[in-house]
Amino acid sequence: MTYTITQLAKDFNVTTRTIRYYEELNLLQPARSESGRRIYSKRDVAKMKLIFRGKRFGFSLEEIKEMVLLFDQDRTGRKQLERTIEYGTKRIEEVTSFIEELEAMRTEMEELRDAFIKKLNGSGETSE
């Protein structure tokens, strides 16, 4: 099955400009019809899925490009998996750090809120 750029854009809920940008980055290399229209294959659809999964997990387009194109260089998929594990481990560490920062912020906000509630209810008043 093949897809036009319009069909691909609709299926992934993106603009055709986005797809052309991915082509500029060499993430996608569609075939061309005799009239010059882009023809996307199932393989291009699979690459689009990988691109959007990578974006959802917070990888940069350069990282995504490297991971996607590694499969073209090594059909066993081993290099792609190794690099994906490397980038994934790094991203997990970043997410873990961010979660820790958010939990610390929540704790601080809860403490401030509780102190303000006490003050408002008169528990924190000082006598003169």
Structural domain spans, the chain: 5-120
Lowest-confidence region among 2-16, 43-57, 62-76 = 62-76
Distance CA 89, CA 115 (A): 39
pLDDT at position 124 is 54
The structure's pTM equals: 0.74
E strand or H helix at 72: helix 61-73
The model's confidence at residue 3, banded by pLDDT at 50, 70 and 90, is very high
pLDDT of residue 128 exceeding 70, the answer is no
Query: Which CATH code of 3.20.20.70, 2.60.40.2470, 1.10.1660.10, 1.10.486.10 fits the domain covering 5-120?
Result: 1.10.1660.10
Nearest-CA neighbor of 86 among 67, 68, 73?
67
Contacts of 22 (CB under 8 A, 6+ apart): 28, 48, 51
